[in-house]
Amino acid sequence: MSEASAIAFYDRLVAAADPARDPFDVHILAAILAVALVDGEGLAAGAGLDHADLARLAEAVFPAAADEIAARGGPAHQRDAEEASVRDVLLVFMSGDPVISRPLAAMVARRCKAPRHLWQDLGLNARSELKSLMTRHFAGFAARNRGDMKWKKFIYRTVCGAEGIPLCPAPTCAECDEVEVCFGDEDGASRLARLAAGAGTAQSRAI
């Protein structure tokens, strides 16, 4: 999917949203779906949802775009054990509207497997938006991140701890030589912002 098409898809989803839905929830869901398409797998695989869950989310949040979402569903998603573990841990702490929080748990789990900072691979504008997402939809989980650890690190540390797998050999973070890896800045541009900039560059070259 081209950069311009991804941005246009995000805009169409926002415009097609149920006006009764919270604008922040509309934004985060539209952003995740837009970057899922950019990764070239189709919405189901890219967002971590099966076709039925994708359809329910579309009808609940983006009813005027439900047909387009279904058409862009792509191949069925195959969730592996790692992804299922992340989703299940988030579901334990689900605190928002289940219509949104439940699929979000699967979407966050899927995007955790992408290579960038988690907020970037969710298509969000900044790390602060990811904190707002976690606080709103997985409040108990967010409250446990007292040290403001990077979210992907914190998620996997929690999952591994729940399954009895040691993720870090250091007894405490204060005694670890890689504190920056877990707690350092998460700078960078939003993926949607980069896509928009790329689309603008492509258009300017074409003129």
Low-confidence ranges of the chain (pLDDT < 50): 163-166, 169-183, 199-207
Give residue 38's pLDDT. Answer: 86
Contacts of 34 by beta carbon, 8 Å cutoff, 6+ apart: 6, 7, 9, 10, 13, 123, 192, 195
Contacts of 58 by beta carbon, 8 Å cutoff, 6+ apart: 65, 66, 69, 70
Per-residue CA distances from 167 to 75, 100, 145, 177, 193 (Å):
33, 30, 16, 14, 33
Give residue 39's pLDDT. Answer: 83
Q: Each residue of 145-167: pLDDT tens digit?
A: 998 898 999 999 898 875 444 45
Give residue 192's pLDDT. Answer: 67
- Sign of the dihedral through C-alpha 196, 77, 22, 14: positive
| Spatial CA neighbour of 137 closest among 49, 29, 8, 48 | 29
Which pTM was predicted?
0.82
Q: Which residue has the tokens 């707002």?
A: 132
Give residue 205's pLDDT. Answer: 25
Q: What single letter denotes the amino acid at residue 126?
A: A
